[in-house]
Structure 1
Amino acid sequence: MPWYFYLALKQLFPTGRRFPFFTFISIVGVALGVALLVVSTSVMGGFGHEIRRMVVETQGEVQVRANGFIDDPAGLQQRIAKVPGVVATTAFAEGVVMLESERRPAFPGIQGIDLNTVTKVVPLDRYVRVGSLEDLDDDSIILSATLAHNIGARLGGKVEVYSPLLLERLKNDEVLLPRELTVVGIFEVGHQQLDSSTVIVTLRLMQDLYGLQHGVHGINVKIADGLDADEMARRINAALPPESGAVARSWIDTNQDFLFVLSLEKNMIFFLLTFIIIVAAFSVTSSLLISVVRKTREIGLLGALGGKPRQVAACFCMQGLLIGCGGTLLGLALGLTTLFFRNDIIRGFTELTGSQEVLVRFYQFSQLPAYTSRSDLTLIVVCAIVISTLAGLLPAWRAARLKPVEALRSE
Structure 2
Amino acid sequence: MPWYLYIAIRHTFPKGKRLPFFTIMSVTGVVLGTMALVVVLSVFNGFGHAIREVVADTTGDLKVMNGRIFEGYEDKIDLLEESPLVEAAAPSAFGMVMLQTGNRPIVPQVQGIDLDAERKIVPLDDYIRYGDLEELDDDSLLISSGIANTLRLRVGDEVELYTPLMIQRLNQNEVLLPRLMRVAAVFETGFTKVDENTIITTLRSMQDLYGLGEGVHALKVKLKDGVDPEAAARELQGLFAPPFRVSTWLESNADYLAIIEFEKRMMFFILLIIVLVASFSIATSLFTSVVKKTREIGLFSSMGATSRQIIACFCLQGFSVGVVGTGIGFALSFALLAVRETIIDAIFSVIGGREQTMQFYFFSELPVHYKSSDLIVIAVLTITIATLAGLVPSIKAGLLKPVEALRSE
Judge same fold: TM > 0.5, yes or no.
yes
How far the C-alpha of 1:118 sits from its partner, in A, is 0.8
Aligned to 1:231: 231
Q: Is the 8 A contact 1:230 1:253 kept in 2?
A: no
Could you tell me which amino acid in structure 2 is paired with residue 203 of structure 1? L
How far the C-alpha of 1:294 sits from its partner, in A, is 1.7
Matches within 5 A, 1:141-290: 141-242=141-242, 245-290=243-288
Could you tell me which amino acid in structure 2 is paired with residue 365 of structure 1? F
Aligned to 2:130: 130
Alpha-carbon distance in structure 2 between the residues aligned to 1:266 and 1:359: 17
Aligned to 1:26: 26
- Corresponding residue SS for 2:376: helix
How far the C-alpha of 1:143 sits from its partner, in A, is 0.5
- Corresponding residue SS for 2:176: coil
Matches within 5 A, 1:323-362: 323-362=321-360
How far the C-alpha of 1:203 sits from its partner, in A, is 0.8
Alpha-carbon distance in structure 2 between the residues aligned to 1:252 and 1:360: 21
Alpha-carbon distance in structure 2 between the residues aligned to 1:164 and 1:333: 56
Deviations 1:23-75 (A, max 9, x none): 11000000000000011111111111121122111111111111112222112
Alpha-carbon distance in structure 1 between the residues aligned to 2:134 and 2:314: 69
Greater displacement, 361-370 / 317-326: 361-370
Alpha-carbon distance in structure 2 between the residues aligned to 1:307 and 1:361: 63
Could you tell me which amino acid in structure 2 is paired with residue 380 of structure 1? I
For the aligned residue pairs, the C-alpha RMSD in angstroms reads 1.5
How far the C-alpha of 1:207 sits from its partner, in A, is 0.9
Deviations 1:362-395 (A, max 9, x none): 3332222222211111111111111111112112
Aligned to 1:296: 294
Could you tell me which amino acid in structure 1 is paired with residue 63 of structure 2? Q
Structure 1 unmatched runs, 5+:
none
Could you tell me which amino acid in structure 2 is paired with residue 211 of structure 1? G
Q: Is the 8 A contact 1:101 1:152 kept in 2?
A: no
- Corresponding residue SS for 1:368: coil
Deviations 1:275-297 (A, max 9, x none): 11111112101211221122111
Alpha-carbon distance in structure 2 between the residues aligned to 1:310 and 1:392: 14
Matches within 5 A, 1:363-378: 363-378=361-376
Could you tell me which amino acid in structure 1 is paired with residue 210 of structure 2? Y
Structure 2 unmatched runs, 5+:
none
How far the C-alpha of 1:191 sits from its partner, in A, is 2.7
Matches within 5 A, 1:387-402: 387-402=385-400
Alpha-carbon distance in structure 2 between the residues aligned to 1:380 and 1:224: 34
How far the C-alpha of 1:6 sits from its partner, in A, is 1.3
How far the C-alpha of 1:263 sits from its partner, in A, is 0.6
How far the C-alpha of 1:147 sits from its partner, in A, is 0.3
Aligned to 1:91: 91
Q: Is the 8 A contact 1:88 1:222 kept in 2?
A: yes
Greater displacement, 365-374 / 324-333: 365-374
Deviations 1:169-197 (A, max 9, x none): 22222232222222111001223332121
Aligned to 2:310: 312
Could you tell me which amino acid in structure 2 is paired with residue 118 of structure 1? E
Could you tell me which amino acid in structure 1 is paired with residue 165 of structure 2? L
How far the C-alpha of 1:321 sits from its partner, in A, is 1.2
TM-score computed with the length of structure 1 as normaliser: 0.95
Alpha-carbon distance in structure 2 between the residues aligned to 1:258 and 1:59: 16
- Corresponding residue SS for 2:247: strand
Alpha-carbon distance in structure 2 between the residues aligned to 1:3 and 1:152: 74
Greater displacement, 10-19 / 193-202: 10-19
Aligned to 2:383: 385
Alpha-carbon distance in structure 1 between the residues aligned to 2:71 and 2:37: 51
Q: Is the 8 A contact 1:79 1:240 kept in 2?
A: no
- Corresponding residue SS for 2:119: helix
How far the C-alpha of 1:239 sits from its partner, in A, is 1.5
Aligned to 1:43: 43
Q: Is the 8 A contact 1:57 1:124 kept in 2?
A: no
Indicate the percent of aligned positions where both proteins have the same amino acid. 46
Aligned to 1:118: 118
Aligned to 1:406: 404
- Corresponding residue SS for 2:213: coil
Aligned to 1:104: 104
Q: Is the 8 A contact 1:89 1:221 kept in 2?
A: yes
Alpha-carbon distance in structure 2 between the residues aligned to 1:14 and 1:377: 29
Alpha-carbon distance in structure 2 between the residues aligned to 1:337 and 1:164: 52
TM-score computed with the length of structure 2 as normaliser: 0.96
How far the C-alpha of 1:148 sits from its partner, in A, is 1.2
Determine if the alignment matches structure 1 residue 52 to structure 2 residue 56. no
Q: Could you list the structure 1 runs, at least 4 aligned residues long, displaced by more than 3 angstroms after superposition.
A: 360-364
